[in-house]
Structure 1
């Protein structure tokens, strides 16, 4: 799916929104020798050198943001 997303065409399947870079899920990817981690999506790094406890908070916040978007788009 390309931006902008036309909400008049909702509902959408989650997999199509996931393919949109701005709405793709984030995950911990990579650990540095100092214990810090990177956060990435399927296309590459979003944040690098994050404390693990901050990475967990950031990813949880991102997941909640996506849940709200998906709910608003009445996904099927």
Structure 2
């Protein structure tokens, strides 16, 4: 049976450093409903802009794509 991949949801996750350098602690902010066909550069640009609005420094930007695998 051939495998079929159906695009699902995509979301952005910002990992923020809320602790100090000596004792790092992290918090995540997740933004859902990102279009699955958006380019990685566009997603990064939006996440970077959102990161600039945060109180804490952004440690990392993560894009999470979910796909549904079905056998047809």
Place the TM-score, normalised by the shorter chain, in its bin: 0.3 to 0.5
Please report the TM-score for the alignment, with normalisation by the length of structure 1.
Answer: 0.31
Larger radius of gyration between Structure 1 and Structure 2? 2
- The one of the two structures with greater contact order (alpha-carbon pairs below 8 A, sep at least 6) is 2
Please report the TM-score for the alignment, with normalisation by the length of structure 2.
Answer: 0.32
